[in-house]
Chains A and B, each alone.
Chain A
């Protein structure tokens, strides 16, 4: 079996996309990489539970999303005690899109950061990661109607924030 078709080889190929989704979930580059690392570690440990022939990407996205829910839950308890002032800080400058970053890209990124988690994950999976409604419904264990209505609310709120220019 050559490198690219092995389980680990496929995970390596998935890393860029997993990082992108991790950014959408965590809204922070360092947290995103921690989350990505935790995801691949979990995937390696659970290798035996992945069914060859099924989509490895969906499987990994699901692992990542569940890990993020655990992290976010633990963290919201912590930040509620410690640091309430951070909420507004993420909206401004963001180096991610690079030097040539257009203002509207920063705006759309900032708007994403303001969406509630449950809408943001659905928007990221469907509009950024390119999954279908059915795939996301299976991945998140939600009825397809819930996925669809969260997507409507999320993208409508985004458009309102970004402006209809």
Chain B
């Protein structure tokens, strides 16, 4: 350590007691050195005053969102154990879900092959989607519709996420039918690339996380639930 470095180490409180005392005495005896010390102390406090407002400013939503459960779609169980989602985000998700539900509700084609149908103002899975929800296992995918996670929601109903070429969603078993809880269109241009998609749609992930009670089913539980008719 040269003299300059020693001087600044002293200023920063990095010297041992003996060396610090020695430097202290030198500075006290030398007005020029003392002035430099004062300038550098002032510089330090100016630096902190310049940068501290950044740490005091509100953290942008997108940064906080990265630390919410939606960011961890891989392990819902662990994400849920780690923390619960703030109410605001839940409402945003539900609002988004409702908006899509209403949108679909006004223009869902009433054909026998349509994957959803409207009944008494509610959306239910139909045709190929209904069949996939009834029969597909995440552990043994076969068709165009892939099942993601299966779990029980807080009302005790079995819910399953699915990914189809046009989008993804969540359906829960209600009185022997699969009622749609959320539908999310695939991003533009990714319609058929669902196998390559990096992860679950973040809105769907948030919906799953806000409704799941307990842990997602493993392969055995999924098979058992299917054998019992998803009750």
Contacts and interface: CB of A to CB of B under 8 A. Distances in A.
Given A37-B66, A108-B46, A162-B43, A16 B8 contact: no
Contact of A12 (B46, B50, B60, B67): B67
Interface string B4-22: 1100110010100000000
B63 A97 contact: no
Nearest to B35: A164
Interface stretch (B51-59, B125-133, B193-201, B211-219): B51-59
Interface stretch (A53-61, A65-73, A75-83, A146-154): A146-154
Contacts, number: 111
A145 B5 CA distance: 9
A75 B57 CA distance: 28
The number of chain A residues touching the other chain, given as a range, is 35 or more
B62 interface: yes
Most chain A beta-carbon contacts within 10 A, residue among B40, B43, B64, B81:
B43
B44 interface: yes
A62 interface: no
A158 B47 CA distance: 10
A128 B47 contact: yes
A109 interface: yes
B12 A17 contact: no
Contact of B40 (A20, A37, A41, A159): A159
The number of chain B residues touching the other chain, given as a range, is 35 or more
B72 A44 contact: yes
A98 B53 contact: yes
Interface string A7-41: 11101100111011001100000001100110011
B43 A97 contact: no
A96 B54 contact: yes
Nearest to A110: B50
B8 A148 contact: yes
Name A's interface SS: helix
A149 B5 CA distance: 6
B224 to A, nearest CB: 30
A127 B45 CA distance: 8
A1 B78 CA distance: 12
Most chain A beta-carbon contacts within 10 A, residue among B12, B66, B83, B84:
B66
Contact of B9 (A11, A17, A32, A133): A133
Contact of A155 (B40, B72, B84): B40
Given A133-B12, A159-B39, A44 B71 contact: yes
Interface string A99-127: 00010111011001000000000011011
Interface of A: 1, 3, 6-9, 11-12, 15-17, 19-20, 23-24, 32-33, 36-37, 40-41, 44, 96-98, 102, 104-106, 108-109, 112, 123-124, 126-128, 132-133, 145, 148-149, 151-152, 155, 158-159, 162, 164
Given A124-B51, A128-B47, A148-B8, 7 more contacts: A6-B82, A8-B83, A12-B67, A19-B59, A41-B71, A44-B71, A98-B53
6 contacts: A16-B55, A106-B50, A124-B51, A133-B12, A151-B8, A155-B43
